[in-house]
Amino acid sequence: MATLQGGLLRPDLGVLSPALLAQLRDFKVQSRIANEKYLRTHKEVELLISSFFREMLLKRPENILEFAADYFTDPRLPKKIHMQLIKDKNVV
C-alpha cells in the first residue's frame, strides 16, 4: 500500500481479523463511554475548554500557541475555574 509521509493513504481493512476488528470496535465504544462519564463528573474540563475558546475568540491572538501557553499557565486560572464551578452550582 502506498504511504504518505510515513502514514497510510487509506485504511488497510485486511490487516485485522474479524475477531480483532470486533475487539477494536468494543474498545472504542468502551473508551468513549468512559470518556463521557469522566467529562460528566469533571465539569471543570468543560469550563477550562469553553473559557479558553471564549477568550481566544474575543482576543483573536496572532499566535494561538503562545496564547494557549499563557492561558493555561496563568496562576489565577485554578481560582477562576473554582469560582465558576461554585457559581454554576448556585445557578442550578
Residue 13 lies in a domain: no
Better-predicted residue by pLDDT, 92 or 80: 80
**pLDDT at residue 56, rounded to an integer:** 97
**pLDDT at residue 1, rounded to an integer:** 47
Give the structural domain span for 61: 18-91
Interval 44-76: pLDDT, tens: 998 999 999 999 999 999 999 999 999 999 999
Residue 79 lies in a domain: yes
Residue 5 lies in a domain: no
Q: What is the mean pLDDT of the chain?
A: 87
Residue 6 lies in a domain: no
**pLDDT at residue 31, rounded to an integer:** 97
d(C-alpha 26, C-alpha 42), whole Å = 24
Domain count, the chain: 1
Residue 41 lies in a domain: yes
- Sequence-separated (6 or more) residues with CB below 8 Å from residue 88: 43, 47
The answer to whether residue 85 scores a pLDDT higher than 50 is yes
**pLDDT at residue 50, rounded to an integer:** 92
Residue 12 lies in a domain: no
Better-predicted residue by pLDDT, 24 or 15: 24
